[in-house]
Structure 1
Amino acid sequence: MIRKRVLVAGRVQGVAFRDSCRRAAASRGVTGWVRNLPDGRVEAVFEGAEEPVAAMVAWSGQGPRAAHVTGVVVHDEPAEGLAGFSVR
């Protein structure tokens, strides 16, 4: 199991990014959470097998149709064994 924390910049708030992220993660069996940050970015944590987590990191670079992602910063972290995927 691996864990990635992503910080996504651009037009990513007010475009259903968090809910779309939750649905995309659930469809891949990835656990974690996603939230808006006060500076306009979105922060997400993805945990799971390497391939599905990598797919979620890649998804974060595009987001939902209405989003316009201008940057993604990815941090490796120790997995915590999260259950489910939540919108914070």
Structure 2
Amino acid sequence: MALQARLVITGRVQGVGYRDWALTTGQRLGLSGWVRNRSDGSVEALIVGDENAVGTMIEVCRRGPSMARVDAVDIEPVDLDILPAGFTLLPTA
């Protein structure tokens, strides 16, 4: 069974390649979902996958790419009826 989580990452996470890094990382881990900037300066991600991959993604999101400064990663479990295919970028919300 796939785990599903919504992450909101705050800190210096826009303008430092965080979304592209998260996209590449999520794809490498075989996750489904998406990542996007938010108008409040945070980055939001929906991640869906096996327990190990989701756990790894959460852990690495706490560090982010080298230019980022992550202050917090808020994690909210979700239960989607329709799961996304692949891991993609979404427009800013």
TM (norm. structure 2) is 0.91
Aligned to 1:31: 32
Amino acid at match of 1:40: G
Question: Which 5+ residue runs of structure 1 have no aligned equivalent?
Answer: none
Q: What is the Cα deviation at residue 81 of structure 1? A: 2.1
Q: Note the alpha carbon deviations across 1:5-40, whole angstroms, 9 max, x for none.
A: 000000000001001001001111011000001110
- The percent of aligned pairs where both chains have the same amino acid is 36
Q: Note the alpha carbon deviations across 1:58-83, whole angstroms, 9 max, x for none.
A: 11101111000001100001143210
Q: What secondary structure does 1:9 align onto?
A: strand
In 1, Cα distance between equivalents of 2:31 and 2:87:
7
Amino acid at match of 1:45: L
In 2, Cα distance between equivalents of 1:87 and 1:77:
19
In 1, Cα distance between equivalents of 2:29 and 2:13:
21
Alignment of 1:1-80 (within 5 A): 1-79=2-80, 80=82
Question: Which 5+ residue runs of structure 2 have no aligned equivalent?
Answer: none
How many matched pairs?
A: 88
Q: What is the Cα deviation at residue 48 of structure 1? A: 0.6
Shift >3 Å, 4+ stretches: none
